[in-house]
């Protein structure tokens, strides 16, 4: 089962040392502003993916009073995961005492989703955040995707290098094009297959959350990153001139996106802030729902400060929906009661109080 039983932190931001014996379903973390709540969630995210959800500079997570941070966790299924991250050097990751070259195995073991103020960039931000969102699901559900995606990235990087060189060798370009097209078609197929499964799960989740205020004209469309009517090979040939001009591949799966529209307009232009938050929450919850259905496992949700612009009823619906997913939840809040008041009945849970970096339960 993908959930954490024990979490130990050393020199993570203002937390010099912390130990949390976790509940398999609901963990509430409360404390004043700046006490260290988000840092606990960040540590879980860093362990599961090598990245923070707050910053691209993972070195900044290392306590100013230390040279390296350490995170250790045990999963309910008995796996042990350890991470050492010196401020300036690369991280060292271990799974069951074995050094890991990358995060593939640990990311599969710890499928973590985040719901925080930054999640709303999913609608506001560029395609990259939506591609990342889509690929989280594709990675977990569609096997073989990761290898095809790695080949795609390698081909695009090689191709871009050639395009930038003063005299791009046409024959060499064609070699990379052929390999790129093969991998790109597999990436596209995996994404499309996942997306087709995702849409009905999302629709159901969204209607359950939004109720009467659901925007009926809302729709999601997958865009693969090149003309849907043409083969990528043809598109690459047709855009050769443009690619050479920019020194970069203009079409391909690295340009994929999910269009979120309400009627004929982008949802972001039509929906209120609150409605956008309900929509993003539905996207995130639907992903966990599909994950559980497809993998017969559960996700870990990190819910940081259930966004302020949601009213109590919406916060309650989101929490209840997450609880019903049977996922493991970590929910932070300044006021413990503001979360407890959102829960229908009092489910089994563990609460943790954080005060200036010290965690007590």
Ligand X SMILES: Nc1ncnc2c1ncn2[C@@H]1O[C@H](COP(=O)(O)OP(=O)(O)OP(=O)(O)O)[C@@H](O)[C@H]1O
Residues that bind Mg ion (CB under 5 A): 38
Q: Is 118 in the site for ligand X (CB under 6 A)?
A: no
When the beta carbons of 37 and 284 are compared against ligand X, the nearer one is 37
Residue 296 binding partner per list Mg ion, ligand X, none, with a CB distance cut-off of 5 to 8 Å that depends on partner kind: none
- Residue 207 class from Cβ within 10 Å (0-12 exposed, 13-18 middle, 19+ buried)? middle
* Cβ-contact 7, 44 below 8 angstroms: yes
**Residue 251 binding: pick among Mg ion, ligand X, none (C-beta 5-8 Å cut-off by kind):** none
**Residues 6 or more apart in contact with residue 86 via CB below 8 angstroms:** 62, 67, 68
The H helix count followed by the E strand count for the chain is 12, 15
Helix (H), strand (E) at residue 94: strand 92-95
- Considering the rule CB under 6 A, would residue 85 count as an interface residue with ligand X? no
**Extended strands (E) in 135-264:** 218-223, 257-262
| Pick 41 or 81: Cβ nearer Mg ion | 41
Partner residues linked to 10 by β-bridges: 17, 70
Binding mask 124-163 for ligand X (x = CB under 6 A): ----------------------------------------
d(Cα 1, Cα 37) in Å, to the nearest integer?
Answer: 25
The reply on whether position 347 binds ligand X by CB under 6 A is no
35 binds, among Mg ion, ligand X, none (CB under 5 to 8 A by kind): ligand X
Site for ligand X in 12-71 (CB under 6 A): 13-14, 31, 33-39, 60, 62-64
Q: Quick one: 31 or 252, whose CB is closer to ligand X?
A: 31
What is the distance between the alpha carbons of residues 195 and 238, in angstroms, rounded to a whole number? Answer: 28
Q: What is the nearest approach in angstroms of ligand X to the Cβ of residue 34?
A: 3
Q: How far is the CB of 324 from ligand X (least distance, A)?
A: 26
b/e map 302-329, b = 16+ CB within 10 Å:
bbbbbbeebeeebbbbbbbbbbebbbbb
> Which of residues 14 and 160 has its CB atom nearest to ligand X in the complex?
14
Q: Which is nearer to ligand X, 33 or 345 (CB)?
A: 33
- What is the Cα gyration radius of the chain? 22
Q: Which is nearer to Mg ion, 54 or 224 (CB)?
A: 54
By the criterion CB under 6 A, which residues form the site for ligand X? 13-14, 31, 33-39, 60, 62-64, 334
């Amino acid at each position: 089962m993908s959930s954490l039983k024990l979490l130990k932190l050393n020199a993570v931001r203002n937390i010099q040392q912390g130990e949390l014996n976790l509940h398999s379903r609901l963990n509430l973390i409360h404390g004043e502003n700046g006490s260290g709540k988000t840092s606990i969630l960040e540590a879980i995210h860093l362990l599961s993916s090598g990245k923070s959800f707050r910053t691209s500079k993972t070195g900044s997570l290392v306590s100013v009073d230390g040279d390296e941070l350490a995170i250790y966790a045990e999963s309910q299924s008995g796996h042990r995961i350890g991470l050492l991250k010196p401020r300036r050097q690369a991280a060292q990751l271990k799974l069951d005492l074995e050094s890991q070259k990358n995060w593939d195995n640990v990311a599969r073991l710890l499928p973590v989703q985040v719901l925080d103020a930054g999640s709303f960039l999913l609608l506001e931000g560029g395609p990259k955040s939506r591609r990342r969102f889509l690929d989280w699901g594709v990675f977990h559900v569609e096997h073989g995707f990761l290898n095809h995606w790695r080949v795609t990235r390698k081909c695009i990087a090689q191709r871009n290098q050639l395009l930038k060189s003063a005299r791009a060798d046409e024959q060499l370009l064609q070699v990379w094009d052929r390999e790129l097209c093969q991998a790109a078609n597999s990436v596209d197929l995996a994404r499309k297959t996942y997306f087709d499964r995702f849409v009905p799960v999302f629709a159901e989740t969204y209607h359950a959350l939004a109720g009467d205020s659901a925007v009926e004209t809302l729709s999601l469309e997958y865009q693969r990153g090149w003309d849907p009517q043409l083969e990528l090979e043809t598109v690459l040939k047709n855009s050769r001139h443009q690619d050479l001009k920019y020194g970069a591949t203009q079409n391909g799966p690295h340009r994929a996106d999910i269009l979120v529209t309400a009627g004929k307009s982008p949802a972001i232009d039509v929906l209120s802030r609150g409605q956008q938050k309900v929509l993003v929450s539905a996207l995130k919850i639907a992903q966990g729902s599909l994950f559980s259905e497809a993998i017969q496992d559960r996700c870990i949700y990190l819910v940081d400060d259930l966004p302020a612009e949601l009213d109590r009823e919406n916060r309650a619906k989101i929490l209840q929906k997450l609880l019903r997913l049977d996922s493991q939840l970590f929910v932070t809040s300044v006021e413990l009661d503001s979360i407890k008041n959102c829960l229908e009945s009092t489910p089994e849970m563990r609460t943790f109080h954080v005060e200036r970096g010290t965690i007590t339960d």
